[in-house]
């Protein structure tokens, strides 16, 4: 199989070489590495260009965007340009285990029903601490089943191995506000093609300046939560069309989950708009739809304690 790795890069001078080393030292080398720089203003362009020249990496391509696209669009368009049968999305600041590509390719070859394969990760922090997630390391292949809290993306895009057919299908449904990993996770989940290999194939760097950390902090206000609910409602509507149009086989469970989530999102929106405690109490009926249970309590905190 042909393997493509796609990096989205922006001001990555601090960690980019570690990530590139972990790609170059894979036991199964990628057939194609595409690096899309979204307008770095630090020394990233010089570092990457020197790295490619030093190691003679002719099948690695560094592309500098003419305009800043934002990380969502940069990732999606980058992955759509990949020519591999399997596409791996890659951040600029992580470290891949040396057998990541080899392990995931072998699993995908043996299991054609998988459209998206993810793995465990080992989070590592500036203080030296580490934590494995989202499941215990057992070296098992497990299907991820659809549940009412399907909006929770358990494994980040840096763990994803994506079959090209899923990426092509995603062109019909992507919108600029959709993160690449959230879209692909949910499309695969609703078509029963989402699997996890429970071994940490990547070291996921956690630091305050990552795009994930910045957006997580920005979500902690009322305006941002309202925007999140609006995006989630578009996701629910999109997944309904996708289920009816592109998902094969029995669809009763998918539609039942979507119906419940539509009611939950409408009720959550009503709670934020009215700030009526009664609406918050009613919202508790949909406890199982929250990506994380503590977010229900977080709604009360934002509306009645933080109040902004």
Domain ranges of the chain: 3-207, 219-306
Distance between CA 268 and CA 256 in Å, rounded?
Answer: 18
Assess contact for 210 and 123: CB atoms under 8 A.
Answer: no
Q: H/E element holding 143?
A: strand 141-143
Residue with tokens 């399907």: 150
> ∠ CA(73), CA(80), CA(75), 5° rounding?
30
Exposure b/e, 226-253, CB count within 10 A at least 16 = b: eebbeebbebbebbbebbeeebeeeeee
In this structure, whether the domain defined by 3-207 belongs to CATH 3.90.550.10 is answered with yes
Distance between CA 188 and CA 186 in Å, rounded?
Answer: 5
Choose among 55, 44, 53, 37: nearest CA to 17: 44
- Residue 213 confidence (pLDDT): 47
Residuewise pLDDT in 10s, the chain (308 residues): 999 999 999 999 999 999 999 999 999 999 999 999 999 999 999 999 999 999 999 999 999 999 999 999 999 999 999 999 999 999 999 999 999 999 999 999 999 999 999 999 999 999 999 999 999 999 999 999 999 999 999 999 999 999 999 999 999 999 999 999 999 999 999 999 999 999 999 999 997 665 554 555 555 899 999 999 999 999 999 999 999 999 999 999 999 999 999 999 999 999 999 999 999 999 999 999 999 999 999 999 999 999 88
Distance between CA 30 and CA 297 in Å, rounded?
Answer: 45
- Residue 80 confidence (pLDDT): 97
Choose among 17, 89, 19, 29: nearest CA to 59: 29
Distance between CA 155 and CA 171 in Å, rounded?
Answer: 21
Distance between CA 188 and CA 144 in Å, rounded?
Answer: 10
């Amino acid at each position: 199989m042909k393997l493509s790795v796609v990096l989205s890069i922006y001001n990555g001078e601090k960690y980019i070489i570690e990530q590139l080393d972990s790609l170059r030292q894979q036991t199964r080398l990628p057939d194609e590495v595409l690096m899309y720089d979204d307008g770095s203003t630090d020394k990233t362009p010089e570092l990457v260009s020197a790295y490619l020249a030093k190691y003679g990496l002719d099948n690695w391509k560094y592309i500098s965007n003419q305009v800043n696209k934002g990380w969502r669009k940069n990732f999606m368009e980058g992955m759509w340009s990949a020519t591999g049968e399997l596409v791996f999305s890659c951040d600029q600041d992580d470290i891949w285990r040396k057998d990541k590509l080899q392990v995931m390719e072998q699993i995908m070859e043996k299991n054609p029903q998988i459209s998206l394969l993810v793995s465990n990760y080992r989070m590592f922090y500036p203080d030296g601490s580490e934590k494995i997630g989202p499941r215990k390391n057992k070296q098992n292949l497990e299907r991820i089943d659809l549940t009412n809290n399907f909006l929770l993306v358990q494994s980040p895009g840096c763990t994803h191995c994506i079959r090209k057919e899923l990426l092509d299908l995603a062109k019909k449904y992507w919108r600029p506000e959709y993160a690449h990993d959230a879209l692909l996770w949910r499309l695969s989940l609703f078509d029963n093609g989402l699997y996890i290999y429970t071994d940490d194939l990547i070291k996921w760097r956690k630091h305050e300046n990552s795009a994930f950390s910045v957006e997580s902090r920005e979500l902690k206000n009322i305006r941002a939560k309202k925007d999140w609910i609006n995006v989630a409602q578009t996701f629910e509507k999109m997944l309904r069309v996708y289920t009816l149009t592109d998902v094969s086989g029995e669809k009763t469970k998918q539609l039942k989950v979507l119906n419940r989530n539509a009611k939950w999102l409408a009720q959550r929106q009503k709670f934020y708009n009215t700030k009526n405690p009664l609406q918050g109490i009613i919202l508790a009926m949909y406890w199982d739809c929250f990506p994380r249970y503590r977010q229900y309590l977080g709604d009360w905190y934002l509306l009645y304690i933080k109040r902004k």
